[in-house]
Structure 1
């Protein structure tokens, strides 16, 4: 039975699941559920995902929501397929993967999302200018976090050690929109180790596939934001 993945490629959280499915060479059926079009609140979808969010993974009778639970499941079930050992091969390695996944979920991505909202979502969706105080505050927070990453990555090639893991990949959806789509690379360019790590993970074929599918939507966001500020 083919796995079903619900969501759209312009959803960063759904992209986290799609990315790992591609990284593990897992055949899956994409079931389009667009939040922008309200498809996540239909009775049919709420019967599958009662919180009305994406992504959702359906593997036979098993249903999993929350993107990081999904990527753990995919990496574990298909550990010898595609890129091996994305969730580590020992208990110690797995503890490091989980540690950096928690940091991505609780710190890195929320800060990036706040800045994305200011630079892209507010001008495009709400016709509002970015709040300079919010931008300054969260850029400073992001810089401090990336300083810690810089120190850690001076000792290891990847976050959990010397192997690429779902902890690294989980950073891509929100990080890519901030650094690349919103064109805010300054915090990377000033940190040699973080920049090298980012170049490595964002160059992976699986992520390039996600980007190629999502790019038209991201391009429209960028154009919309630039149009607002130049009007």
Structure 2
């Protein structure tokens, strides 16, 4: 859904006083870091991972051939982005700091599918990124959502 980032930011702001503060609204420095990493996800992480997922899962599901050249190009691009993540996550537990935020949450959908593909090593080969993914994907709410994410899964 194209508006999912805006919707999630709206919900996080609306309910910031209940549960986790995913935008860090009371700390301007932390809030700015959340916004920076939201932009990184949207502008640098999402474009290549989106292409990988579309080519690997969606094209075959629609009866069309995957374009391996598109996958290869985007695997290379995503690898460069993940090198930056590896560096960042070597100094902080989460992307915006030592706190879970909306910036981490926005990575859940496409990364979930990437981990079900032959390209999971993009995450697993980077120890800090792999630890971050394990942390954010094993949260109870993440597990609950991921249980219903079945793209590429065999259904009975």
Name the TM-score, length of structure 1 as normaliser: 0.63
Alignment of 1:46-57 (within 5 A): none
Offset of residue 142 of structure 1: 0.7
Q: Is residue 57 of structure 2 the alignment partner of residue 120 of structure 1? A: yes
Q: Is residue 134 of structure 2 the alignment partner of residue 199 of structure 1? A: yes
Question: For the residues of structure 2 that align with 1:222 and 1:209, how far apart are their CA atoms?
Answer: 16
Offset of residue 132 of structure 1: 2.1
Alignment of 1:1-231 (within 5 A): 13=1, 66-82=3-19, 84-88=20-24, 89-125=26-62, 127-180=63-116, 182-215=117-150, 218=151, 221-223=152-154
Conserved in 2, the CA contact under 8 Å of 1:100 and 1:167?
Answer: yes
Offset of residue 152 of structure 1: 0.5
Structure 2 alignment gaps of length 5 or more: none
Q: Helix, strand or coil for the counterpart of 1:213?
A: coil
Offset of residue 124 of structure 1: 1.2
Question: For the residues of structure 2 that align with 1:172 and 1:138, how far apart are their CA atoms?
Answer: 18
RMSD: 1.7
Number of residue-to-residue matches in the alignment: 154
Question: For the residues of structure 1 that align with 2:23 and 2:68, how far apart are their CA atoms?
Answer: 39
Question: For the residues of structure 2 that align with 1:135 and 1:73, how far apart are their CA atoms?
Answer: 33
Question: For the residues of structure 2 that align with 1:169 and 1:183, how far apart are their CA atoms?
Answer: 23
Q: Helix, strand or coil for the counterpart of 1:144?
A: helix
Name the TM-score, length of structure 2 as normaliser: 0.91
In our comparison, the structure showing a higher alpha carbon Rg is 1
Question: For the residues of structure 2 that align with 1:78 and 1:176, how far apart are their CA atoms?
Answer: 25
Offset of residue 213 of structure 1: 2.5
Conserved in 2, the CA contact under 8 Å of 1:109 and 1:175?
Answer: no
Conserved in 1, the CA contact under 8 Å of 2:89 and 2:128?
Answer: yes
Bigger proportion of residues as strand = 1
Question: For the residues of structure 2 that align with 1:214 and 1:178, how far apart are their CA atoms?
Answer: 12
